[in-house]
Amino acid sequence: MDDIPKIGITGMPGVGKTGTLIKVVKHLEESGYVVGGMVTEAIIKDGKRVGFDVVNWRTGEKRVFAHIDLDTGESVGKYGVDLEALETVGIPAIEEAIADEEVDIIIIDEIGKMEMLSEKFCKTVIDALDSDKPILVTLHKKSRSPLLQDIRRRDDIRILEVTPVNRNLLPYKIEKIMKDQLPNLF
């Protein structure tokens, strides 16, 4: 099991964690691998980030997950957080990626403060990490939550940091690590 690639991408907010993950995923898909799971997409208005959608990577289904104008009772920083969006789009996307034999690689973007408000999300992340499938996740850099501490301590996950200096090359490094350990498709 140690040879199954499990990679965490970390870095400061806005540095390009999601962009790095998506570049890797697109290259892997071009090589024939099937990817499933969830990503968060920034919602930009007038050049500023005002929220995030949660997106099922395989189906494209999306819902607003966090927004400066959301008033749900749950918030992280300036964003109101809609846990129902995470639990109806994001979590099922991860569960489907774990269970579906067609899916070669699981992705989770992001394991961060907003997402960790959901206990079900935290449990699903552990289920994904414990599965026998390759996984690519993005991790909040500074959070000291028990879940992130546990992930950082795991010896079966390699954590790489995105910086402004390496963000153009890191996707290729991650892709090489993944491909070197993934089974050949042909």
Angle between helices 146-153 and 119-130 (to 10 degrees): 10
Please give the Cα distance from 161 to 167 (Å, whole number).
9
Mean pLDDT within 149-159 = 94
pLDDT value, residue 1 = 43
127-130, long-range: CB within 8 Å, 24+ apart, which pairs?
A: 127/94, 127/95, 127/98, 128/37, 128/94, 128/97, 128/98, 129/6, 129/154, 129/156, 129/157
Dump pLDDT digits (tens) for 32-41. 999 999 999 9
Tens of pLDDT, residue by residue over 54-68, are 999 999 999 999 999
User: 142 pLDDT band (50/70/90 cuts)?
Assistant: confident
* Higher pLDDT pick, 143 / 40: 40
Domains of the chain: 6-136+156-179 (3.40.50.300)
Q: Record the tokens describing residue 76, joined without a space.
A: 């992280």
**Tens-place pLDDT, residues 95-110:** 999 999 999 999 999 9
d(CA 177, CA 165): 20
For residue 186, is pLDDT > 60?
no
